[in-house]
Structure 1
Amino acid sequence: MGTICSNRVHNRTQVVELVPMLDNEDYYTLPVSFQTRTAGERITVDVGIWIVRPLNNTLNTPLAVFVHGAPGSSQNFAVIGRKLAGHGIRVVGFDFPGHGKSRLSRQDIYRLDHSTEGKYDMLCTVLDALAITRVDVLIGHSAGTWLNYKAAADLYLAKSSVFLNPLSKRRPRTMHPYWILKLLAALLRNSSLHSTTYRCLPFVYKVSGFSLEKDAFPSLPASIETVRYADLDKMQDYAETVALRKHPFVMAITKNDKIVEWNFAMEMARHMGIEEQEITEYGKDSVTVGDVVGKYDESCYRRVLLFERGGHLVHRSHEAVIIKHILQLLKAVCNHDS
C-alpha cells in the first residue's frame, strides 16, 4: 500500500454470504466486562470478535475496525473485510452485546445502555480488551454510523472514518410512526409481555421494509433498544466537531436506499464540512457522472460517494469503488502521520 501506518498509543438487513473462513481469520468469543446502567455495576459478556490478518501482518500494519448496524453482526462485513486484508490491512470487527455471538439473556439486555453514548462506551471497552491503541479507520454501516459520528468527534485514537449508508440527526422513514417504536421498546422491557412482543418483531420489521434472516431474530430486542435510544439530538454537534477537527472520512450513500433517506445523510456530510468538489456522483455500474472539479485538501481526505443505485448494502453493490477510497483514505492518514 505504499506508506505504512504505525499502531500507537473497532435495508434490508445484510444477508451473510456463506464464504469459507480464511487461514488467517478468526471468529471467537472473548469475555468482556461492561458497565451497566447502574453505577458501579458490571456484567461480563462473551463478545464475538472477528479478526482477519493480512499475510504480511506486522505491528505496523494499518488497522480497520468495523461497527455493525441494528440488527447486524461483524459478519455483515466478511466479504469486504477479507478483501481489505488482501490489500495489507488488519481487520477487526465485534458483535455488540445482544448481537451475533455476543448473546445476552433477556434480563441482561436491559441492564446495558444501548444508546449512542452507551455504545461508545462499549466500543472503548472492547478496544481496551483487545489492547488496541490506534484505529486507522473506523467503518460503520447504517445504525452503526450513529456511533461513528460520536467516535469521529471524541475518540482520538480513531484517525479516520467510513460511513456506509449513514443515518443522521433525523429519524429515518423506518422509525415512523415513532410511537410504535417506543411502544415496542416498552413492551419488550416488560417481563410478562416480552415473549409475545418478541414473536411479533419479525413481522414488524418486514412491514418496515427489512428482509430478515432467521439468524438475526435473537438480536431484535437489542436492536430496538439501539434505535429507540439513539442520541439524535447530539448528532449535529458530533458532526460539527468532526468538521472542526478536520477528521478525514469517506461517506458512501445510495439514492435508492429504502431504509434511510439519502438527503438526510447529505445534510450530515455538510455539517461535517464536506464541500461540493468533494462529492462524486455515480450512475449505474459505478460509472462517474461528469468530472469532479476543484482542488482537494489532501491533508484532510474527505469524500462523499453518491450512487444512483445500490440499496441499503452499498459496500456490497459498489465494493470496488469503496475499497479504492478506503485505501486512499488510509494513505492520506499515513502520510499525514509520517
Structure 2
Amino acid sequence: MPPTVLSSPFKFCSNLRRTKHQEHFIWLALYQRFFICTVPRINGSNERILGGEDNLRAEKVSIQAHDGNLLHFDAVIQDVVPSRSSLGTVIACHGAPGSHEDFKYFLPYLKSKAIRFVGINFPGFGYTQPNAKLRYDNRERLEFVQQLVKRLKLYDNLVFVGHSRGSETALKLGALNRDRTVAIVLVNPMTLLTYRALKPLWRIQLFAWLWNLGSVSKFLLRPIIYLSYRYLLHLKVPTSDVAATSLMAMNTVDLQSQIKYISTLNVSTVKVFVAYAGRDPVIEAELSKHFANSFIDVEHLTCKSGLPNEKLTFDQIRKLVEEGKRHIAVYFPEDDHFIQKHRAKLLADTIHILLSDEKKRQERKEVSA
C-alpha cells in the first residue's frame, strides 16, 4: 500500500511558528505530493486492459520461487492469431523497461503474412502484476515463458524475438526449444562484454541493495529512479515501480552465461538473425559485432537509411537464407536502440522469409522421404 498523502500539505506553510517536527512533516508531505503528481500509476487490476483491439488476455501460469514455493500469475499476453492458417509463431520478449508494445510497429506486417504473434509481459513491468518474492533473474524469466509456451501448446515453427534485455531470454529459449524453433531474432541485443548502460556495475548493484532494504528506502528511491529513467537515460517508464523492476532485472544480467547457449545453437539447425545499431546510446556497436561473431560463419550486412537500402538489404538476406546460411547480422549505422520501431517491415519480412524457407525445406523432405 502506498503511504497516505495529506490532502493539503500546504496548510502548514501558513503557520509561522512551526516546530522542528512540523517542518519535517511538511517536507515529507511535499515530497509525497511531488511523487504522486509526477509518477503515473497503473491500476492494480488487469480488468481494464484485457480484450479489445489489442488482443490482450491473461493466462494462468505458475513458476517456482527461490524458496521452493510456487508463484502464481495472471500473465498478460498479446496473442494475435491470423485469420488464415499460421505460417509460424513469433514469441516476443521485451526489454527493461518494456512490454508487448515494444513490438507494435511490426505486428501489422506479421499479421498480414499469416504469422501468429505472442507478446510476453514479464511480471512487474506494468501489465502482469509483480510478486514480492521475485528476484527478476534469468531463471524466473525462462520458466515464465516456458510455462506460457506449454499452456498455449506451441509445438513447432517458433521464432523467438528479443529486444535489448529480452535478447538474453530469447537466445536461451531458442536453444532450450531448438527442436521446435526455426529462428531467433535478436534486436539491439545484450552483448558478451559489459556495455555502456551497465557501466559502472556498482551503481546498479547499490540500487538493488538499497531497494531491498525495505519500504522506507523504496519510498525514498521511487521518484529518483523514475526521473533518472525519464531524463537521464531517456527511456519511457509508466511508473517508478516499473523503473525499479527494470533496474532489478538489469542487476541480474549474466552476459557470459550466453556463451554455452550460443555453443548449443552453433551445432543446431536454428537460424539466428542479429540486428544492431550504430547510434545506440545503450550498447556500443563494436560490442554488438563481437557478439554477432560468436555465431559460427556469421554473414555481416550493412543497411543504411532509406527504403531503397532496406529493399537491397532484404534481397541480400533472402539470398543468404536460400543458400542455407544460418547466421546473419545486419548493422544499421544510423539507427538507435529501437530498431524494431524504425525497421519494422524489414524485420517482419526477414521473419517471414526464415519461416517460409523452413516450410519449403520440410516439404522437400516429405517429398523425398
TM-score normalised by length of structure 1: 0.83
* Counterpart for residue 132 of structure 1: 154
**C-alpha distance in 1, partners of 2:279/2:114?**
32
Contact 1:24 1:53 in 2 (8 A): no
How do 1:80-229 and structure 2 match up within 5 A?
A: 80-104=106-130, 108-109=131-132, 111-156=133-178, 157-191=180-214, 192-206=216-230, 208-213=232-237, 215-229=238-252
**C-alpha distance in 1, partners of 2:203/2:258?**
23
Q: Percent identity?
A: 20
- Opposite residue 120 of structure 2, the aligned amino acid is F
* Counterpart for residue 64 of structure 2: 35
Q: Does 1:71 align with 2:93?
A: no
Greater helix content: 2
Q: Does 1:321 align with 2:349?
A: no
* Higher relative contact order structure (alpha carbons within 8 Å, sequence separation ≥ 6): 1
1:265 and 1:152, CA in 2 relative to 1: closer, same or farther beyond 3 A? farther
C-alpha offsets along residues 30-62 of structure 1, whole Å, 9 cap, x if unaligned? 2321211112x0121121110112121x3x541
Q: Secondary structure at the match of 2:55?
A: strand
Shift of 1:73: 0.6
**C-alpha distance in 2, partners of 1:22/1:257?**
34
Contact 1:30 1:47 in 2 (8 A): yes
C-alpha offsets along residues 48-79 of structure 1, whole Å, 9 cap, x if unaligned? 110112121x3x54111111111111122122
Q: Does 1:285 align with 2:285?
A: no
- Opposite residue 188 of structure 1, the aligned amino acid is W
* Counterpart for residue 15 of structure 1: none
Shift of 1:296: 3.8
Q: Where does the alignment leave 5 or more consecutive residues of structure 1 unmatched?
A: 1-20
* Counterpart for residue 253 of structure 1: 276
Shift of 1:166: 0.8
- Opposite residue 210 of structure 2, the aligned amino acid is L
* Counterpart for residue 39 of structure 2: none
Q: Secondary structure at the match of 2:181?
A: coil
Contact 1:250 1:329 in 2 (8 A): no
Rg comparison, structure with higher value: 2
Contact 1:206 1:212 in 2 (8 A): yes
**C-alpha distance in 1, partners of 2:102/2:245?**
17
**C-alpha distance in 2, partners of 1:135/1:223?**
30
Aligned length: 307
* Counterpart for residue 9 of structure 1: none
- Opposite residue 86 of structure 1, the aligned amino acid is S
- Opposite residue 166 of structure 1, the aligned amino acid is P
1:304 and 1:316, CA in 2 relative to 1: closer, same or farther beyond 3 A? same
C-alpha offsets along residues 172-195 of structure 1, whole Å, 9 cap, x if unaligned? 211111111001111111213122
Where does structure 1 differ by over 3 angstroms across 4 or more consecutive aligned residues?
Answer: 21-25, 288-293, 295-301
C-alpha offsets along residues 117-174 of structure 1, whole Å, 9 cap, x if unaligned? 3211111012122222235211110110011221232222332110111111222211
Contact 1:188 1:198 in 2 (8 A): no
**C-alpha distance in 2, partners of 1:122/1:23?**
24
Q: Where does the alignment leave 5 or more consecutive residues of structure 2 unmatched?
A: 1-49, 364-369
Q: Secondary structure at the match of 2:73?
A: strand
